[in-house]
Structure 1
Amino acid sequence: MIDTTRIQAITLDLDDTLWPVAPVIVHAENTLRDWLQQHLPRTAQLWQTPDLPREVRRAVVQRHPERRHDLSFLRREMIRDVMVQAGDAPGHADAAFEVFFAARQQVTLFEDSLGTLRALAGRYPLLALSNGNANVRQIGLGDCFVASIAASQVGCAKPDRRIFQAAADAAGLAPEQILHVGDDAQLDAQAAREAGMQAVWLNREGKPWPLETAPPPQIHTLATLVQWLLPR
């Protein structure tokens, strides 16, 4: 079990922790495709070439390895590259990205997310800690969090311990005073422990612990956190 007496703040992963991310990305991709079809049909047609987005992403990462953690930058540059290949003006990339980005913020929370966040926020400072580019304020969860730590801001992504330290610094606490909660065994649970935090693995699907290390405490629903941390 976790040592609740040491916890002074909680960091939470976002994608697949507070909402399922796959349908969000599908929706954002479809929204971008529709916009391109309306405004830049040549780019739209090229974008739908099988495997092209993956190849373009690989090329962008090769050109900018120092930005591989910044998903918004990679997406914008991918769009720009395809526009150039299609013979369209690359200056449209910013507008196209904003269409994608706005759709990417349209999430459907897991049914236990909002109630858990509100309950925990009444007792602990909550910090979002994500490799992705979801924006908790645009999503409508800004009032639950005191800070949001993203890989694009820090310059590195989980499992790098520096992003966990950045969250601890933002909270004004030592890592051992923070509990991290996330769905990924390696990037969240194990990495947080290696960075000196306590960790809980959110294992909604009941998967076996995939690493050779001893498993951390695990939960199958976020609501369990309320039972552990806010006993009646």
Structure 2
Amino acid sequence: MLDVSKIKAISFDLDDTLWPIWPTIERAEKALHDWLGFHAPMAAAMFSGSGALSEIRSEIGMTRPDLKSDLSALRRESIRLALQRAGENPQLAEPAFDVFFEERQRVTLFDDALATLDFLSARFPLVSVSNGNADVAKVGLAHYFRASISAREFGVGKPDPRIFLAAAGALDLVPQDVLHVGDDATLDGLGALNAGMQCAWLNRSDHLWPHETTPNLTVTGLEELCALWRQPA
């Protein structure tokens, strides 16, 4: 059960918690492909099939385990390898990635995200904790968060307890003071619980919780979090 009295801060996952990630990635990949079509047409043609660049990313992931927590570097190196295999200039990987990254920051928030961030940030310090490469400043949400912890910068991703400890530490708190909110049962839910945080699992799609240890709270929308502190009329 959730103990509201212990909560002094709230940490938020980003992708698929505040916005749906796959429409964003699909749009960014289209922008990347369009750019390659003009600047590196051989690479664009060779890797135009569905999943082609994804297969290269998987290959890079196996040969470069040091990039596991840095999705930006992983994608950049995947683009570089695609260019090399197509006989194009691999130096185009940098500007090509920039096109992808810029579009990746243009997210469409879930309908309940802004109202929830407005409500909760007025009551608690918030910190974002993400394995992805969204930038809360570029997304336009930086003013809601006291700190932002990313796997790319920290070097370790969820569900490793250390990234949750870092999130609590960024607010000068211990994990027991923090409620973590996220959509992924393992990365967010189990990771936060193992770090000593309370966890609110955001389950928008009626998934089954897959672990023996259960979340302190399950919600189907972010607005349910606000109801925990909203005074009855």
The TM-score, its normalising length taken from structure 1, stands at 0.96
Q: Which residue of structure 1 aligns with residue 228 of structure 2? A: 228
Does structure 2 retain, via aligned residues, the 8 Å contact 1:15–1:21?
yes
Q: Which residue of structure 2 aligns with residue 202 of structure 1? A: 202
1:154-200 Cα shifts (integer Å, max 9, x gaps): 11111111111111111111010000000011111111011000110
1:65-108 Cα shifts (integer Å, max 9, x gaps): 12211100000000000111111111111100010001101111
Size of the aligned set, in residue pairs, is 232
Q: Which residue of structure 2 aligns with residue 127 of structure 1? A: 127
Amino acid aligned to 2:159: P
Q: Which residue of structure 2 aligns with residue 83 of structure 1? A: 83
Question: Within 1, Cα distance between the matches of 2:207 and 2:24?
Answer: 23
- Post-superposition offset of 1:140: 0.7
Amino acid aligned to 2:170: A
Question: Within 2, Cα distance between the matches of 1:62 and 1:21?
Answer: 24
- Post-superposition offset of 1:51: 4.5
Does structure 2 retain, via aligned residues, the 8 Å contact 1:113–1:222?
yes
Distance 1:4 1:11, change over 3 A: same
Question: Within 2, Cα distance between the matches of 1:187 and 1:18?
Answer: 16
> Gapped runs of 5+ residues in structure 2?
none
- Post-superposition offset of 1:48: 1.6
1:69-218 → structure 2 map (5 Å cutoff): 69-218=69-218
> Gapped runs of 5+ residues in structure 1?
none
Q: Which residue of structure 1 aligns with residue 17 of structure 2? A: 17
Distance 1:56 1:199, change over 3 A: same
Question: Within 2, Cα distance between the matches of 1:80 and 1:176?
Answer: 43
RMSD of equivalent CA atoms: 1.3
Does structure 2 retain, via aligned residues, the 8 Å contact 1:158–1:188?
yes
Question: Within 2, Cα distance between the matches of 1:26 and 1:2?
Answer: 36
- Identical pairs, percent: 47
Does structure 2 retain, via aligned residues, the 8 Å contact 1:189–1:216?
no
Does structure 1 retain, via aligned residues, the 8 Å contact 2:199–2:215?
no
Question: Within 1, Cα distance between the matches of 2:29 and 2:67?
Answer: 21
